[in-house]
Amino acid sequence: MGRTIRSILAGIVVGLAGLHASHAAIVSGTYTFNATGFTTGAPTDPVHGAVSITFNNSLSYNGQSSGISLVSSNIGLDSTVEFDYFSTPDILVIGGSAAGVMNSDPSSRDFALYIGNASTAPMVTTFTYSAGSGTVYTASTDSVTFAPAASIPEPASLLLLSAGVGMIAVASRRKSTST
């Protein structure tokens, strides 16, 4: 194989490696949820809403309030929205911070949404909420969808892609000057 072809292949590999590596672990988008069939006496049924979030799925988080915002909900929340993420089983828990993300505080308006396979094929495992009346209500049927945010290349990706394209250009120029 000629030196020029090897240079071109090396440039392509460097460029493609830069595009893939930087986005492998970032999850960014909106989780939209719907929960119905709550226990008797639930003041709101169904409950629905959406949460915008960004996290690195190779890391674990506990009580994280940055990188998340409540986009919409038909139930109130008395505290800030936070999340916990467990990277090994790929479980995301979203909820109010009143009793900790993983619990619904019965004395305040709060919720806890457990999502399995959060970064691959999201599915709700549990949804609970409280309206501040001293009772926690659990859904019997729930669903979640994930809409990823638009992908924007990071500076490192663009640098590696440029290096790959530059190597191809140099190899092509060498070939044209030698013939």
39/36: higher pLDDT: 36
Among 170, 154, 136, CA closest to 7: 170
CB contact set of 97 (below 8 Å; sequence gap of 6+): 63, 65, 79, 80, 81, 82
Q: Report the SS3 class of residue 5.
A: helix
pLDDT band at 177 (very low <50, low <70, confident <90, very high): low
H or E stretch at 155: helix 155-178
Q: According to the model, what pLDDT value does residue 25 have?
A: 79
Full-model pTM:
0.71
